[in-house]
């Protein structure tokens, strides 16, 4: 049985838009994953470590038969295949794939936390999610993606990247 999950996608090294599109292609070409919706691509200011290049961010809705832990492994494998090296937390990256939601599950492992713990603070995740899942409900807070996005506004969103 498949579940719906949402993946946040971001890049700010090299051709960031191309990196994001390649990551989406790789997700869709993975056994047990089907990408069913992709948001617009947004140019955004960096978050956390602000002394770096602007990001390109988007989000994808997928259907998968993988477990959340196996999906995390696939995301990390895709990141590595595109040249990601984990160096500085919130620092520059060629690609970043984060599991935002996995069905209505709440997961609090050492490697995987779902819903993503910083979701409510990040317009660069919420804005793309609004494109593809405005009524998706956060399983802990009960707020929709739209409500969370409206609560923080478009801070850090520069505009569409397409």
Domain extents for the chain? 3-160
Q: Which of 22, 96, 104, 131 is catalytic?
A: 96
Residue 50's pLDDT is what?
67
Q: Which of 15, 32, 93, 131 is catalytic?
A: 93
Query: Is the model's pLDDT at 47 over the cut of 80?
Result: no
Distance of alpha carbon 101 from alpha carbon 114, whole angstroms: 6
Distance of alpha carbon 98 from alpha carbon 105, whole angstroms: 15
Residue 159's pLDDT is what?
86
pLDDT tens by residue, 76-91: 999 999 986 666 555 6
Distance of alpha carbon 49 from alpha carbon 41, whole angstroms: 21
**1 — pLDDT class (breaks 50, 70, 90):** confident
> Mean pLDDT over all residues of the chain?
92
Please report, rounded to a whole number, the percentage of residues in the chain having pLDDT higher than 90: 75
Q: Which of 70, 76, 98, 154 is catalytic?
A: 98
Does the annotation mark 96 as catalytic?
Answer: yes
Does the annotation mark 31 as catalytic?
Answer: no
DSSP H or E run through 55: strand 55-64
The CATH number fitting domain 3-160, selected from 3.40.50.920, 3.30.70.270, 2.160.10.10, 3.30.70.560: 3.30.70.560
Does the annotation mark 84 as catalytic?
Answer: yes
Does the annotation mark 122 as catalytic?
Answer: no
pLDDT (mean) for 151-160: 88
Please report, rounded to a whole number, the percentage of residues in the chain having pLDDT higher than 70: 93
pLDDT (mean) for 140-155: 94
Q: What pTM value is reported for the model? A: 0.93
Distance of alpha carbon 55 from alpha carbon 39, whole angstroms: 15
């Amino acid at each position: 049985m498949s579940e719906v999950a949402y993946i946040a996608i971001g890049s700010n090294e090299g051709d960031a838009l191309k990196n994001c599109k390649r990551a989406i292609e790789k997700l869709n070409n993975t056994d047990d994953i089907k990408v069913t919706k992709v948001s617009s691509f947004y140019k955004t200011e960096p978050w956390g470590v602000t002394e770096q290049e602007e990001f390109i961010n988007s989000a994808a809705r997928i259907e998968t038969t993988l477990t959340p832990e196996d999906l995390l492994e696939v995301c990390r494998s895709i990141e590595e295949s595109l040249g990601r090296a984990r160096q500085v937390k919130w620092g520059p990256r060629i690609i970043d794939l984060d599991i935002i939601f996995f069905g209505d599950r709440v997961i609090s492992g050492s490697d995987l936390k779902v819903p993503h713990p910083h979701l409510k603070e990040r317009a660069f995740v919420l804005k793309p999610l609004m494109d593809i899942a405005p009524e998706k409900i956060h399983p802990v807070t009960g707020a929709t993606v739209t409500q969370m996005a409206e609560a923080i506004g478009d801070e850090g969103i520069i505009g569409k990247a397409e």
